[in-house]
Every structure is written in structure tokens, then in C-alpha cells.
Structure 1
Amino acid sequence: MSRRGTESNVGTAVTPDDIDRAAEVLAPLVRRTPTIEVPGSEIGLDATLVLKLEHLQYSGSFKARGATHFVATRPVAAGGLVAASGGNHGAAVAWAAQRFGHDAHIFVPTTASPAKVTRLRRYGAIVHEVGDVYRDALDASRRHLDIHDATAIHAYDDDVVMAGAGTCARELDRQAPDLDAVLLACGGGGLSGGTAAWYGERTEVVAVETPGTATFAAADASGAPVDVEVSGIAADALGATRIGDTPFRALRAAGATSALVDDEDVIAARLHLWNWLRIVVEPAAAAPLAALMTGTWRPRSAGDRVGLVLCGANTTLDLTATSAPGSLVTGPTR
């Protein structure tokens, strides 16, 4: 049996060398997503914003990096791959499984957006919708692993997955080597932890969260990962019940900070990205811009260069509405 097969990969620190090696593996397998520079004056800041368009990644989010790194470097049991996910990790695992010729069983909470569930099925995954939060889906996936010879891929608390996610930061660092800070959404911590592991203390890392998904803020206050009550507009992407141990250690070691933004501010930032740049992202991906627009986080000095990672775009775009064609769907999708 391969029950919780990836948990043996948890516990060691992910280093820049690990991320370099992951980048070598991933170079022919994932996209090198572009960046664009825009003036911060658009939102009242004396700064330059460098947007990393990671929502253009395969499967619609940064998660393709971690999932593909795992599938490309680890053995997969006969029963295929098993993952619990709010949607994006599941889509990435399903995409990687399809690419490498494996079956994929994806367990998602019932709060996962229909757009994400639809995409899972398009990639050929067998989708199991269970419970209200990520922890419910994770528990169900573990029960599946008790009776099937399959290989689990944790969504974030796994060294191999986090090293893969860290290649996004490595890539950004090469595209914009002079950043003063990097802001990105944080749920379970795979992306933020991988980013912290790459940059260390040389560039400020800011984990942006909503009150209903504040896993890092809660862990930072407690000194260790703790459970949080999950709710809100970003819960389908950031809805981990607690931050992973490995990501938390990386964030703390880098001196990362948490910035909390309300759901309403995330909605406003998401609409602003559309109106300003014609970029459509899911709510979680707009959280970093919300932190800047609300003043929750501010650049330390005039003229700073600030990176924003737009981490995913598995969302709903209403192309059929007659009153406002192409309008973003900003309310609850389930």
C-alpha cells in the first residue's frame, strides 16, 4: 500500500539547490510564465509593480509545478494518483497524471468552484466531492488509500511539491532580479513556502490571506501551525485548515509577514485587474493586489519594485450574460 505515500517527504528544509534541481526537471514540462511591469501610481503608490502571470500555467495555476515535479521524480503505484484539493492542486495532479499516463482520484470539498470541478473532469480525473472544507477531502482521500494501492500527493506539505512550487519564485527572480518585496496568496503554504525558501531574507516575502483563510497569521501568532475556521470568497483555493509544517518553517526562517485583506477588498482587486489590465484571475490570486490597494501592506521606500504573483485563474467568466457580456462572476459559485 502507498497510504499517505508522500508524508515521508515532509520534514526536511527545502533549499535553493532543491529548487534549482526541480527547475531542471520542469524546464521541458511546464510553462515559463511571463511578467509585466505596471506603474504603482495606478493605485496611488510610488512603486513599480511586477506581475508574475502564473495563472497562465498549465492546469490554470502554479500547482502544475509541484504536481509535475512529484510525478516526474517519484514512483506511482498501480492504483494511480490520489490528491485532496480545493480544486487547483487537483487540477494540476489530474493534468500531470494524464500527461504521464496515470489514473487520478481527486477528492475536493463541496465548496470547490464548479469551474475547477469541471476542469478536473476534463483532465480525466475521477472526482469525489466530500465535506465542506479541505480537511474533509483529505480525510476521505486517506480512507481511499487505506484500501487501494495508490500514491498520494499532498497539496502543499511535501518537500518535492514545495520545491516544484518554488520554481515560480526562481523564475520570477530571473525575470525581475531587483525586487524589494514579493506578495502572494497563502493557503496551505506550498507557493509562499517555496517562495520563502528561494528568496530567504534577501527579499521581503508577504503572505496575503483573508480572515477566513489566515493559516500563516494564526501559526505565526501561535509559534506553530494551528487549525483555523475556513470561510470566505477565497476558501476554494486557500481553504487549508492549517498551514503545512514545512512551508511554515520556510516562511518563519525568511522572516515573512502576513497581510490580511477582507473578502470585499479581494473582490474589488479582482475587478480592478480586469478593468485595468484585462486580466481574469480567481479571487485568491487577487489578494496580493488587494493588500496594496487597501494599504494593508505598503512598500518600505519610494520607488520600490514589488512583485505580485497572480497564482491562478480557475474561475468562472460569464460569457453569456446579455446585460454585461464577459462580466466577472464575483459572488459565491456554490
Structure 2
Amino acid sequence: MNWQAEITSAQARVAPHIRRTPVATVHAFGLPYKVELKLEHLQHTGSFKARGAFNTLLSQKVPQAGLVAASGGNHGAAVAYAGSQLGHKARIYVPEMAGPAKINLIESLGADLHVVEGAYANALNAAKVYEAETGAMQIHAYDALGTVAGQGTCMAEWEAQGLEADTVLIAVGGGGLISGAMAWLDGQRKIVAVEPETCNALHAARIAGKPVDVDVSGVAANALGARRIGDICFDLAKQQNIEAVLVSDEAIILAQRALWKEVRQLVEPAGAAALAALMSGAYRPAKGERVAVLVCGGNIAPDPFTDL
């Protein structure tokens, strides 16, 4: 697979439809070194997911039955948004744990939303049934070529903006975002995968030597709560032997608060997970090592402005 060619093509497709999100270099968070931030939570619908959704829709023929997707929330919002922008109807399945903020966001974008009991895996099963019954196009949240190539445009964009870091920390759920980064960088920079202790599908797969099912819970479960890591992510992580660390819910919450208090960026727990690895010491850079954090999601719950 020529991933760089795929991602370059994806960039050309999605450029008219996505935001070129800003970057910032800050000396904050109680760290004795500067950190480069990519503020991808400022993307359409509050996460990087719009990139993969637009790339998939623009690179394939959408059937009359429209779109279907399963999501913890952010992917569903992205598919709903991309579908509405391109004139396609979308049915979105989310688990109850998606929470009211993300559920309300998806509804506001005009999708046919269905909330199912249980975790993300239950929503994915329901989406597969609907796909089989109707012929709708399934847009996978993380384990599909079009999705990964689309997410890879985030790292390609960041490098074009002058990324200087030796090491980039990225939160992992199902693995779409970090897969795109691994595919684009191809070992040219160090990547550190960051997972919550209670949502650790990549960590479990590395121990088992293959993707396996895990239980998911915790503050970031509605974004990082994939029950099984994607095959694409697992294969790339194995090939590149990337480093991976775990962070506690407490560390994530502290990082979430620090992003607001110190740089006035309001993010969801998943969006703070990568920074939590630095603040907690789960990842300790070597002397002189330049580090960067991808801030991936901003759909906090509860939404502080729901009633305004």
C-alpha cells in the first residue's frame, strides 16, 4: 500500500470541505519544555473525524440508500455533517454512553439517529444489520482505507504547517487517527500511542499478538471506547514498533482542566488524553527531545452552552 499517495490524494479531495486547523507552541502545563499542539478539536463537528468522512464519500459512489455509520459520537457527527454537505441521507447508530452532548449534535445535523443499549460494539452490529437490509454505504469509524487516508491528512497538514517535534503523542481508540499518522510519517518521527487504562484495545492487542476484544469504561469511553483495535492500526503499529502508554482517568481530567485553564482550549476527555501522558509522566521525553500533542476532540459533556 502506497499510503503517502493515498493521503496526498485524500488531501486534494477534502481540502475544500475541511478546516485547516491551527497549531500552537506553548510553555505550559507545569512541563519544563515547550509542547507543540495541533488543535484538531476545532475541526468541523469538533473532531478530526470529518476528514475521514469526507474522503470516503468523495472517493466512492454513494448508493440511493444513503449512508450508515456506528459511532461513539464524534464519527457519527462527522458522517452526518459530511452527508448533509454533500446531499446524502445518513442513519447513525450510537450507544447510550455517547451522552447527550454528542447525541444532540448528531440530531442537529439532520441525521436519522438511533440510540442503542450497551457499548459501541452494539451500535456497530446494528449498523451492519441496516447495511445488509438496505444496501446503505457503511462508513467505518476507523478500520477502512478511506477513513485512515482521510485522517492521515491531519498529520500531512501539520507537517506543512512547520511541525518541528521529534515525537508526536496521539490518543487511540479504534486507531483511525494514529493509523493515518503512522501511514503518513512512515517512521520519520516517533509516535507515541496513548490510551486510557480502561479503554486499551491497542495495548491488549500488543500483549495478545493480535486484535482482541476488551471491556471499555471510563471518562473517555464515548470517544476512545472501541472494543477491538482496527486491523490497519494493529498492523502499522506492529510494523513500526511504536511506543504505547496508558493513562488514568484522573490524569486525563487534570489535562483537560489544564488545557482550559492555561491555554483556554475546551476539550473532551479524549482530546486531553495525549497531553495527560506528558503531565502524568506516563511518557517522559529524553533531554532535548521535542514533543507534540494532537488535541483530537472538543465535544465535552455536558455541553456548557446547551441552554443558550
Matched with 1:286 is 272
Partner-residue secondary structure (3-state), 1:260: strand
| Structure 2 unaligned spans of 5+ | none
Counterparts of 2:84 and 2:287 in 1: how far apart (Å)? 46
Secondary structure of 2:258's counterpart equals helix
- 2:182 is aligned to 196
Alignment match, 1:129: 115
Provide the C-alpha distance between the structure 1 equivalents of 2:84 and 2:2, rounded to a whole number of angstroms: 27
Q: Tell me the alpha carbon deviations over residues 98-131 of structure 1, each in whole angstroms, 9 at most, x when there is no partner.
A: 0011110000011002111111011100111112
Residue 166 (structure 1) aligns with? 152
What is the aligned length? 307
Alpha-carbon displacement from aligned partner over 1:249-290 (angstroms, at most 9, x marks no partner): 122222212110000110111001111011100100100111
- Aligned amino acid, residue 115 of structure 2: E
* Equivalent position amino acid for 1:172 in 2: W
Q: Does 1:118 align with 2:85?
A: no
How big is the shift at 1:186?
Answer: 0.2
Query: CA offsets per residue over residues 10-38 of structure 1, 9 Å max, x none?
Result: xxx46112111111111111111010000
The aligned counterpart of 2:252 is: 266
The aligned counterpart of 2:237 is 251
Alpha carbons of structure 1 residues 219 and 122: separation in structure 2 relative to 1, 3 Å: same
For residue 72 of structure 1, report the CA deviation from its aligned partner: 0.9
The residue number in structure 2 matching 1:308 is 293
In the alignment, the residues of structure 2 paired with residue 66 and residue 44 of structure 1 have an alpha-carbon distance, to the nearest angstrom, of 33
3-state SS in 2 of match to 1:113: helix
| SS in structure 2 at match of 1:280 | coil
The one-letter code matched in structure 1 to 2:9 is R
Q: Name which of 157, 179, 203 aligns with 2:143.
A: 157
Distance in 2, matches of 1:246 and 1:130, equals 27
Match of 2:97, SS?
A: coil
Q: What is the match of residue 27 of structure 2?
A: 39
Q: Secondary structure at the match of 2:198?
A: helix
**Poorly superposed stretches of 4+, deviation over 6 Å:** none
Tell me how far apart the structure 2 counterparts of residues 319 and 195 of structure 1 sit (CA, whole Å).
Answer: 33
1:229 aligned residue: 215
Distance in 1 between residues matched to 2:124 and 2:276, nearest whole Å: 29
**1:60 and 2:46 equivalent?**
yes
Query: How big is the shift at 1:218?
Result: 0.8
Bigger mean CA offset, 93-102 vs 31-40 = 31-40
CA distance, structure 2, for counterparts of residue 222 and residue 320 of structure 1: 43
Distance 1:298 1:200 in 2: 23
Q: Which runs of 5+ in 1 are unaligned?
A: 1-12, 327-334
1:240 equivalent to 2:223? Answer: no
Give me the whole-angstrom Cα distance separating, in 2, the residues matched to 1:173 and 1:16.
13
**Structure 1 residues 320, 61: CA separation in 2 closer, same or farther (over 3 Å shift)?**
closer
Q: 1:194 touches 1:250 (CA, 8 Å); kept in 2?
A: no
Query: How far does the alpha carbon of each residue in 1:48-82 deviate from its partner, in whole angstroms, 9 at most, with x for none?
Result: 21100000101110000000000111111111100
Distance in 1 (alpha carbons) for counterparts of 2:306 and 2:149: 40
Give the distance between the partners of 2:252 and 2:48, measured in 1 at CA. 19
Superposition TM-score, scaled by structure 1 size = 0.89
What CA RMSD, in Å, does the superposition of the two structures yield over aligned residues? 1.6
For 2:5 and 2:284, the matched residues in 1 are separated by 31
Q: Corresponding residue for 2:80?
A: 94
Residues 282-327 of structure 1: per-residue CA shift (max 9 Å, x gap): 100100111001100011222x321111111111343589xxxx9x
Q: Distance in 2 between matches of 1:134 and 1:148?
A: 21
Shift of 1:220: 1.2
Q: Distance between the aligned counterparts of 1:320 and 1:93, measured in 2?
A: 22
User: Are the aligned partners of 1:165 and 1:194 in contact in 2 as well (CA < 8 Å)?
Assistant: yes
SS in 2 for 1:213: coil
Aligned equivalents of 1:301, 1:283: Cα separation in 2: 28
CA contact 1:26–1:69 (8 Å) conserved in 2: yes
Does 91-100 or 140-149 show the bigger shift? 140-149
